[in-house]
Amino acid sequence: MPSPFEFLPKHESLLLAEIITKFSSSDRLETYTNTFNSLKNLIPFDYATSALVTVNERGTVESYDLVNINYTEDWIRTYGEQKMHLVDVTVEENFKHYKTQCWSETYKKYENPKQILSFANDYNLTNGYTCGAKSFGLYNNPSYISFAWNFKNRCERISSIIDFLTPYIHIALSNVIYAEKIMTSRQILTNREREIISWTKDGKSSWEISTILKISESTVNYHITNIMKKLDSVIRTQAVAVALQYGIIAFD
């Protein structure tokens, strides 16, 4: 596909450049959603949502971290409760090919999209585009990004803009979710637990930490057990790695 800068008028090219800059530096939810909504000046969507996804070896979605732009709460709740991602052919297509897709064209490729079509029709969401990016660099999860509005024919201009923007949306989405996890993780551990995991990072044993903090060794071990549970870790070094990853403790 040609770069949008090759066919967009000057004022839209400037807007696209501004949006790319904002996505590239975004790590706050409000900035991300505001920037996403400004895309309506280039892509005439009615609804949009985005997610980082955990996919198993078979390509099936196991879980996802959602950043919804403006899909209705009822849609999001019902879609999740009914596990529609398991029958949504646009989801399957995304994690097979990671190419910008028009829903109507994807529906034609699959033998039995009736369940997702029926569900979408209930909410008058009959057409749209989906895009996504593979995990890359520091961004460890692939993405699924959805734009919905009712149109008749695929537009190469829209497809090109979405295709061009996908990696920038992916980076911004990853940064926002990562920042949210950092804030959540910082609140998970108590001050004492952060002290203990910090000393553990420095290679101190339970006995050495107990001496430094003037508490019993059994108390240290009790805290370490809680830390590992909270950080979903099975050994101390893994807990330290998770704590460092989410900024709970500093590298220095």
CATH code of 4-183, in short, is: 3.30.450.80
Residues of the chain with CATH 1.10.10.10: 189-245
The pLDDT of residue 138 is 62
58 vs 37, 62, 96, 106, 115, CA distance in Å?
34, 10, 10, 20, 21
Say what percent of the chain tops pLDDT 90: 72
pTM: 0.78
Closest by alpha carbon to 55, among 138, 115, 140? Answer: 140
Question: Which of 251 and 83 is assigned the larger pLDDT?
Answer: 83
**pLDDT classification of 137: cutoffs 50, 70, 90:** low
Q: What is the mean pLDDT of residues 182-188?
A: 76
Tell whether domain 189-245 is in CATH 1.10.10.10. yes
